[in-house]
Structure 1
Amino acid sequence: MWTSLPSGGLRITGADRVDFVQGQMTGDLRGAPTPGLVACTFLNVRGQIETFARAYRRTDDVYLHVDAGEAEALAARLKRYIIFDQVEVKDVPDDLRCVHVWPGASVAGWNEAGPDVQTFELGGGVVLIGRVNRTGATGLDLHYLTRHEEAVLALLDGEETPLSALDTARIAAGIPDIARDGFTGTLPQEVGLDLGGPLPAISYRKGCYVGQEIMARLEARGNTRYHLARLSIEGQAGQGLTRGADILHGGKVVGQVGLNADGLALARLRKEIADGAEVEVGGLSATVQLLNAVPHTT
């Protein structure tokens, strides 16, 4: 079972590539193995998320895998910070494709006992695969050249599963997708990206980067006003619910809702709202489900 992921990517090359990207992202790329994979965000100076990415550290480059439509803006941002760095930033929107292979499905050539990132030949070309949790259990993100798509997909287990099914599984498991849930512009700690969250993407020990001062203050205080929660929306009426709609409790705005799938949605929610509380979103009734007890596999 596999799902096509609408996505884009940047290839960063040059002698200073690791140090340059390290100085922009919240994750610790320098501390990752080669090959290795680090979830991260790129923040503005107020510590708010501009882009979520998964950074692949490879022998000859750093590959940044982002959601569809985000590579161009991230490339422009990175290029603004190139001064004396020996790096080249290349957008590769038409060259690469990505599918998520669901947990339990196999990929010929993948070594289950091997590292989290592996490259090998499949379907007539070299593929890049990384362990990624998108559904509550670890699956595989498979990156391949566009020209090899037909041959690669023919070798995968089972049939294609729609993106809507992946969204349903990840929301039920409490795993955010920053772009698809519309959580861009929030603090990472508010939407499940802090250490101990369902999608950790911050290192507090890696050194300076854009927005790092705000992250350090939040670590010192150990608190934000919002956190990631889940809403159970009454019946199936929420299918047309607008992503980003305000959540109301007692007539006051207490958060914003993410993508709705099968009557469930993740939300950025004020911490004082209790588990089981009734709230209103988009004119619909919803019940708060706190995620503290939800198990996650990395």
Structure 2
Amino acid sequence: MIALETSFVEQMPACVSAKLDDYGIIAVSGEDAEGFLQSQLTCDLRQLAEYPFLYGAHCEPSGKAFSNFWLLPSSQGFLLIMHRSAIAGSLAQFKKYGVFNKVDIEDVSDDWFITGLFGTETDAFIADLNENTLQLKVGSQPNQYLLLSPATISTDYPQAYWDALEIERVRPQLTADNSQQFVPQMLNLQALGGVSFDKGCYIGQETIARMKYLGRQKRALYRLSGEAATIVPGTELERKVGDNWRRTGTVIMAVNRSENQQDLLAVLPLDIEKGTPVRVRGDEASLLEIHSLPYQLG
């Protein structure tokens, strides 16, 4: 079995399959489903004519995100795959506006078996899948897939392996712990193709556009790793300023790679220097290193 401490983008495994227990799905269907979602989400559903699925965020009117997700069309409408804990916030917001549209909105998480798959030799695994399984290729080097099946899929690894690869890619999965705290650009979603700036109006669009065009972005998502006790979403971080420590950011997701070794994503000041010492607030023995981003923020 491959070790969790492995860097998966540097030492690509042959095949890792993980049951994604922490993921869930919202289904939106009905006559107005596409137009309704176009007015709610940061992604542009017109791009589904070119792409099989989209990445995006669902925000409140102030521009802060309830959730981020992968969206794909289904036989009855659209499916939004997100962290299960974030579903309640998004579902309530959708239903608030959905009463003015011909749409059906429901949590269908229990109707699907959600699997994460990645590696250099995934073809055989995919070939054995049920013909009704939906496949989303969400990454390369190594190839990475989200699989949605109405039937059980046998898996070999826990979700921490999938989360570790997502952290290496610096692609966040927003949980309820940080819901309605961050504008999508603070989570780097614009760099990941999750924000359209020319689709027209949607909920939260004014704040998101101002942050882009008026240069008001002050925070961004970074990967950090190092020695610390267990870290969970919402944990606060501090950076060293002279001889003192000052609050500097918030953890979005984290994985314990090995004993006392943490790998995490956190929202930090955009201009923080890579060599700045960072620690977990309340854990004076911890020390975290900031990594370079694998993409341009744009």
TM class by smaller structure: 0.7 to 0.9
Structure 2 equivalent of residue 291 of structure 1:
292
Q: Evaluate the alpha carbon distance shift between residue 242 and residue 54 of structure 1 in structure 2; reply closer, same or farther with a 3 A threshold.
A: closer
Query: Is residue 2:195 matched to residue 1:202?
Result: yes
Identity over the aligned pairs, expressed in percent? 23
Structure 1 equivalent of residue 91 of structure 2:
75
CA distance in structure 1 between the aligned counterparts of 2:29 and 2:162, rounded to whole angstroms: 32
Deviations along 1:111-147, one digit per CA (max 9) or x if unpaired, are 9xxxxxxxxx943x511111113x86441111011xx
1:177 to 150, 160, 173: 173
Runs of 4+ in 1 over 6 A off after TM superposition: none
How far is the alpha carbon of 1:98 from its aligned partner?
A: 0.6
How far is the alpha carbon of 1:45 from its aligned partner?
A: 1.4
User: Is the 2:66–2:86 Cα contact (8 Å) retained in structure 1?
Assistant: no
Higher mean alpha-carbon deviation, 256-265 vs 50-59, is at 256-265
Gaps of at least 5 residues in structure 1 are: 112-120, 154-158
Q: Which amino acid aligns with 1:227?
A: A
Query: Is residue 2:266 matched to residue 1:267?
Result: yes
Q: Evaluate the alpha carbon distance shift between residue 122 and residue 231 of structure 1 in structure 2; reply closer, same or farther with a 3 A threshold.
A: closer
CA distance in structure 2 between the aligned counterparts of 1:257 and 1:72, rounded to whole angstroms: 21
Deviations along 1:89-118, one digit per CA (max 9) or x if unpaired, are 13213211110111324356969xxxxxxx
Q: Which amino acid aligns with 1:162?
A: P
Query: Is residue 2:217 matched to residue 1:224?
Result: yes
Deviations along 1:15-60, one digit per CA (max 9) or x if unpaired, are 2111111110001112212872111111111111111121102454
CA distance in structure 1 between the aligned counterparts of 2:212 and 2:246, rounded to whole angstroms: 28
Gaps of at least 5 residues in structure 2 are: 1-15
Q: CA-atom RMSD, angstroms?
A: 2.7
Query: TM-score when scaled to structure 1?
Result: 0.80
Q: Evaluate the alpha carbon distance shift between residue 74 and residue 253 of structure 1 in structure 2; reply closer, same or farther with a 3 A threshold.
A: same
Structure 2 equivalent of residue 15 of structure 1:
31
How far is the alpha carbon of 1:290 from its aligned partner?
A: 4.2
- The alignment of Structure 1 onto Structure 2 pairs a total of residues equal to 269
Q: Evaluate the alpha carbon distance shift between residue 136 and residue 212 of structure 1 in structure 2; reply closer, same or farther with a 3 A threshold.
A: farther
Kindly report which structure 2 residues correspond to 1:43-54, keeping only aligned pairs within 5 A, or say none.
Answer: 43-54=59-70
CA distance in structure 2 between the aligned counterparts of 1:36 and 1:178, rounded to whole angstroms: 22
Q: Which amino acid aligns with 1:100?
A: G
Deviations along 1:126-169, one digit per CA (max 9) or x if unpaired, are 11111113x86441111011xx21xx43xxxxx51111222223
Structure 1 equivalent of residue 6 of structure 2:
none
Kindly report which structure 2 residues correspond to 1:1-298, keeping only aligned pairs within 5 A, or say none.
Answer: 1-6=16-21, 7-33=23-49, 36-58=52-74, 60-107=76-123, 122-123=129-130, 126-133=132-139, 137-145=142-150, 148-149=151-152, 152-153=153-154, 160-179=156-175, 182=178, 185-194=181-190, 197=191, 199-234=192-227, 238-249=228-239, 250=241, 251-261=245-255, 262=257, 263-282=262-281, 283=283, 284-292=285-293, 294=294
User: Is the 2:70–2:81 Cα contact (8 Å) retained in structure 1?
Assistant: yes
User: Is the 2:64–2:183 Cα contact (8 Å) retained in structure 1?
Assistant: yes
Higher mean alpha-carbon deviation, 174-183 vs 68-77, is at 174-183
Query: TM-score when scaled to structure 2?
Result: 0.80
Q: Evaluate the alpha carbon distance shift between residue 183 and residue 171 of structure 1 in structure 2; reply closer, same or farther with a 3 A threshold.
A: farther
Q: Evaluate the alpha carbon distance shift between residue 68 and residue 105 of structure 1 in structure 2; reply closer, same or farther with a 3 A threshold.
A: farther
